[in-house]
Amino acid sequence: MDTFSKSDPICVLYTQGISNKEWREFGRTEVIENTLNPEFVRKFILDYFFEERQNLRFDLNEDGTFTTCHKTEVVKNTLNPVWQAFKIPVRALCNGDYDRTIKIECYDWDRDGSHDFIGEFTTSYRELSRGQSQFNVYEVVNPKKKGKKKKYLNSGTVTLLSFLVDIEPTSLHYMSPYQMNAYAMAMKAVGEIIQDYDSDKMFPALGFGAKLPPDGRVSHEFALNGNPQNPYCAGIDGVMEAYYQSLKSVCLYGPTNFSPVINHVARYAASVKDGSQYFILLIITDGVISDMAQTKESIVNASCLPMSIIIVGVGPAEFDAMIELDGDEVRISSKGRYAERDIVQFVPFRDYTDRTGNHILSMARLAKDVLAEIPDQFLSYMRIRGIKPSPAPPPYTPPGHPLQTQI
């Protein structure tokens, strides 16, 4: 600790795992001594994946703070864990200072990443170097619960509760009180990635193939939130809420037509051709399509516009029509006209169902594959139209925060 001088800051970068949500140290900068405005020299280079949510955490440690030097493996289902021995350089542990305080923290592991803090103790390298003995034993204490003893046992899988409307259990839209259905999981998996690329996070959510109140007319293009003048929903949570509410009021009904919704988005995309906006239409379907010819024509027409179409198939159907629309093997055509470029990506949801019931992992894998082709589709549009990237805006510095660091 710097008692009589300025801070000696160091920046540590952590990356978060997709499936286990655990934070892992990726790297750390050099230490800048005696400064409140560090300019770090070391840079971190990471691989960028559009189709994944890559959460990063930057910890800037100053006086009196601790930096994670090592994290053990998880020892499950025991009250008396024994961890594997590990080696760590003295410089990485305490920067060569044998008397520097070392803090050891113990947590009860949870699958969702919200690990429960059990307790901690402090020591030093000099103390630890004395080796195992009755004088080198430490009591793990929770400062907030001093004097209290509590046994911890891993509780296993955490169940996420969803209290949703009860519809016929055989329906693919059936809302279990214990988990999301396939439609909801597909929306959430893809939407949570896409929304980070939208400035206002307002999304038009449309439905098709249903009878609408009060007269029961069949619609293939209706607002899930019930407001045809303003079908926009705030974030993916707003889309999910609109979907749930629509199931309470509409009556699912065939036939299923894709072309009206594709044409709806295409009209918006046709009005913006300068590369400032790119539209992505997510269609979730059970595989039955009643207007194949019209849909193919709509896709061919949209292939020259700044838009992509993602189709997620749910249920046990074969999805032959969806595979044809995907056009990976044979370029889609209509009335002798071929699509200018590939804009459709199809995946069957069942291929991503985790047998262990880990829906978080299923959704992460689904989003990764569903969005894998979007960057190339976007770049192909920009290249064909000869649109070059705009200069990057200057980095934002909040008022009253003069501290600037280069990572």
246 in a structural domain: yes
Cα separation, 146 vs 148, whole angstroms: 5
The least confident of 12-21, 118-127, 396-405 is 396-405
pLDDT per residue over 333-367, tens digit each? Answer: 999 999 999 999 998 888 877 666 667 777 888 88
pLDDT per residue over 137-159, tens digit each? Answer: 787 887 775 543 332 222 221 21
Return the pLDDT at 148. 34
Confidence of residue 261 (pLDDT cuts 50, 70, 90): confident
- Is residue 58 located within the same domain as residue 104? no
Cα separation, 165 vs 163, whole angstroms: 7
- Is residue 125 located within the same domain as residue 219? no
The encoded tokens of residue 345 equal 């990506």
163 in a structural domain: no
DSSP letter (8 states) at residue 170? T
Residue 295 above 90 pLDDT?
Answer: yes
Residue 398 above 60 pLDDT?
Answer: no
- Is residue 84 located within the same domain as residue 231? no
Whole-number Cα distances in Å, 348 to 158, 214, 229, 352: 26, 34, 33, 8
- Is residue 19 located within the same domain as residue 85? no
Average pLDDT over residues 255-275: 86
Whole-number Cα distances in Å, 73 to 23, 70, 106, 109: 13, 10, 12, 10
Query: What one-character-per-residue DSSP string does 83-114 give?
Result: PPP----HHHHHTT-TTSEEEEEEEE--TTS-
Would strands 337-338 and 333-334 be described as parallel, antiparallel, or unpaired? antiparallel
Residue 100 above 90 pLDDT?
Answer: no
- Is residue 107 located within the same domain as residue 44? no
- Is residue 247 located within the same domain as residue 368? yes
- Is residue 148 located within the same domain as residue 294? no
* Residue 178 backbone zone (phi > 0: left; psi -120 to 50: alpha; other: beta): alpha
Residue 25, strand partner residues = 14
- Is residue 145 located within the same domain as residue 187? no
pLDDT per residue over 166-178, tens digit each? Answer: 222 235 544 544 4
Domain final residue pick, 47, 68, 89: 68
Residue 293 above 90 pLDDT?
Answer: yes
Domain ranges, residue 268: 182-384
402 in a structural domain: no
122 in a structural domain: yes
86 in a structural domain: yes
357 in a structural domain: yes
- Is residue 54 located within the same domain as residue 106? no
- Is residue 323 located within the same domain as residue 355? yes
Cα separation, 131 vs 183, whole angstroms: 57
Mean pLDDT computed over every residue of the chain: 76
Return the pLDDT at 152. 20
- Higher local confidence (pLDDT), 317 or 384: 384
- Is residue 335 located within the same domain as residue 263? yes
Cα separation, 304 vs 324, whole angstroms: 19
222 in a structural domain: yes
Report the percent of the chain where pLDDT is more than 70. Answer: 80
- Is residue 117 located within the same domain as residue 261? no
Query: What is the greatest pairwise CA distance in the chain?
Result: 86
- Determine contact, residues 153/77, Cβ cutoff 8 Å: yes
Count of structural domains within the chain: 3
CATH of the domain at 375: 3.40.50
Confidence of residue 117 (pLDDT cuts 50, 70, 90): confident
175 in a structural domain: no
104, amino acid identity = I
Residue labelled with tokens 């113990």:
106
Return the pLDDT at 340. 94
